[in-house]
A and B are shown apart, each in its own frame.
Chain A
Amino acid sequence: MIVDAHLHWPMAKPEGPERLLAVLDRYGIDAAIVCGVEVLFASKSAPVRQWNDRLMEFCGRCPSRLAPLVTVHLSDGQAALEEAKRCAEAGCIGGFKLHPWLQGESLCLPATAELCELAAARNLPIMLHDGTPPYALSSQVGLLAAEHPATTFILGHSGLLHYWREAIEVGRRFTNVYLTLCGGHPWGLGRICESVPAERILWGSDCLGPGGEEHIHYRMGLLRLLKVDETTLAAIMGDNACRVWKIPPQGAGR
């Protein structure tokens, strides 16, 4: 079972998921946790709600293989929380995705804490881009994890190239944090696997949409370089994600 736990797909074109599913099939990926693209840059002319609706509808056409992570803009305050609640009540989302760097939003904004509590109450994880100061260091996600121990946080990149040691420390200190092998180099990925419990490690491609399949090819190649046993590799490549997102076992409706 292979699950791409960190994948983006644009929603601007009114297309169904067939193209994405074909990409997943090409690489033998059973399921994907899908984030939007445009929503990360949303403005008043293209409201967040519209992008989240499109993403939910897109994934809803193949719910056994696709789970959406919706995005809110924390600086919207109460409106962000209402949007998060609306999406959660739709009953089909896999959680939330925040990209503090691209969104230009500090995790110190008041709405952050309420979003974390909402996510915990709904048993929905929050994935964050990490590895980029000043708003998205792995340690800043660690701070959130300390403040909200009932919320599940996912480091979308496990510190990227420069903060993977910090991501390891976050993973060791906070059991409510998962680390995604996505964006680091093999040396760092290997250290993560040695240092953080395997049941809290995921794999992701960070594929950015059509034409971005090389992300998948490259990052699957890096996984094959990991010196881990088969059980651990299976956990990282999909079993852990199946548990987090309650994805049905092998087959997933393909």
Chain B
Amino acid sequence: MERVDGYCTVGREGEEEPSPESLLEQMDRTGVARAVIAPSEACFAWANEAGNELVLSAARRQPDRFIPAVTVNPWRPDAAALAAEYLRCGGAILAFHPGVQGFAPSEGRADAILEALLARNLKPPVYFHTGHHSHGAPAQVLLLARRFPQLVIIMGHTGATDYGDDAVRVCRQASNVYVESSFARSSAFVARAAQIGFDRAIMGSGFPCNDLAFEWAEMERLLPARHRAAVLGGNLMRLLEGGT
């Protein structure tokens, strides 16, 4: 079983977040084969190019270890073209951070980007940070997921903390929504995955805000053995290969 971490953040020199190489050391110590790497909050908010180049170059250096998640701020007039460019350059996941980027997924702010990608036959999994109040509630993600049934939507953090119960209800209403575990606390996440379906659950450590080794140990301790392979890597790899 290949262990794949569904969400980690890396930083540029001068940022608080550790470098991709630091993450790699942690992965090696913990036995994590691959990890999704996303840019820092600053790079979600405004330095999109710098963040995307950081994760893409790290993935080029370690193609078997890093899965780059790229982003564009939907307020940018060139957002659609930029997203397409970074996906063509190797971006595997398109990530949005509504609380940091200042939009509600329920509104149409990101729609033009997604429509442009679909027009170019680009269908990356689209990751939304959720849990931020008013900008990233699971119910807002549902409205977007209904508008784009042909896309896989990953609900980052499963609505943690205060929207956790909403996350289950949203997944029941939209079969293209998957849940990622970081910050959702392992025991709560496993309980919700049991309601949603373990085939739609993705383990993410939330490194570096969370301790990578601790989060992996907790998830492995609590996941039913028969679902480990799927949740700890299989589901995400299936989605990245174009499956559902």
Which residues of A are in contact with B by a Cβ distance under 8 Å? 101, 131-133, 160-162, 183, 185-188, 214-215, 218, 221-222, 225
Q: How many contacts between A and B, using CB within 8 angstroms?
A: 46
- A89 CB to closest chain B CB (Å) equals 35
B214 at the interface (CB under 8 A from A): yes
**Contact A161–B211 (Cβ < 8 Å):** no
The residue that B211 contacts in the complex, of A133, A162, A186, with Cβ under 8 A, is: A186
Once bound together, how far apart are the Cα atoms of A241 and B132, in whole Å? 31
Once bound together, how far apart are the Cα atoms of A218 and B206, in whole Å? 15
With contacts A161-B131, A187-B210 known, what are 14 further pairs, Cβ within 8 A? A132-B162, A133-B133, A161-B157, A161-B160, A161-B183, A162-B132, A185-B210, A187-B209, A215-B185, A218-B186, A221-B218, A222-B211, A222-B214, A225-B214
Max chain A C-beta neighbours (<10 A), residue from B131, B132, B133? B133
Which residues of B are in contact with A by a Cβ distance under 8 Å? 99, 131-134, 157, 160-162, 183, 185-187, 206, 208-211, 214, 218, 222
Once bound together, how far apart are the Cα atoms of A222 and B99, in whole Å? 25
**Contact A187–B208 (Cβ < 8 Å):** yes
**Contact A186–B218 (Cβ < 8 Å):** no
Chain B positions within 8 Å of A162 at CB level: 99, 131-133
Once bound together, how far apart are the Cα atoms of A162 and B41, in whole Å? 12
Chain B positions within 8 Å of A215 at CB level: 185, 187
At the interface, is chain B mostly helix, strand, loop or mixed? loop
**Contact A186–B209 (Cβ < 8 Å):** yes
**Contact B183–A185 (Cβ < 8 Å):** yes
The residue that B162 contacts in the complex, of A101, A214, A218, with Cβ under 8 A, is: A101
Once bound together, how far apart are the Cα atoms of A164 and B222, in whole Å? 27
Chain A positions within 8 Å of B131 at CB level: 161-162
**Contact B99–A221 (Cβ < 8 Å):** no
Once bound together, how far apart are the Cα atoms of A164 and B89, in whole Å? 36
Leading 5 A-B pairs by shortest Cβ distance? A214-B187, A187-B209, A185-B209, A133-B133, A225-B211
Q: Give the residue name and chain of the B residue nearest to A162 (CB).
A: B132
- A191 CB to closest chain B CB (Å) equals 10
Chain B positions within 8 Å of A186 at CB level: 209-211, 214
**Contact B222–A214 (Cβ < 8 Å):** yes
A–B Cβ pairs within 8 angstroms, 27 of them:
A101-B162, A132-B133, A133-B133, A160-B161, A160-B162, A161-B131, A161-B157, A161-B160, A161-B183, A162-B99, A162-B132, A183-B161, A185-B209, A185-B210, A186-B210, A186-B211, A187-B208, A187-B209, A187-B210, A214-B185, A215-B187, A218-B185, A218-B186, A221-B218, A222-B211, A222-B214, A225-B211
Once bound together, how far apart are the Cα atoms of A225 and B211, in whole Å? 8
- B63 CB to closest chain A CB (Å) equals 28
- A187 CB to closest chain B CB (Å) equals 4
Once bound together, how far apart are the Cα atoms of A185 and B184, in whole Å? 10
- A99 CB to closest chain B CB (Å) equals 12
Once bound together, how far apart are the Cα atoms of A160 and B185, in whole Å? 12
Once bound together, how far apart are the Cα atoms of A131 and B206, in whole Å? 19
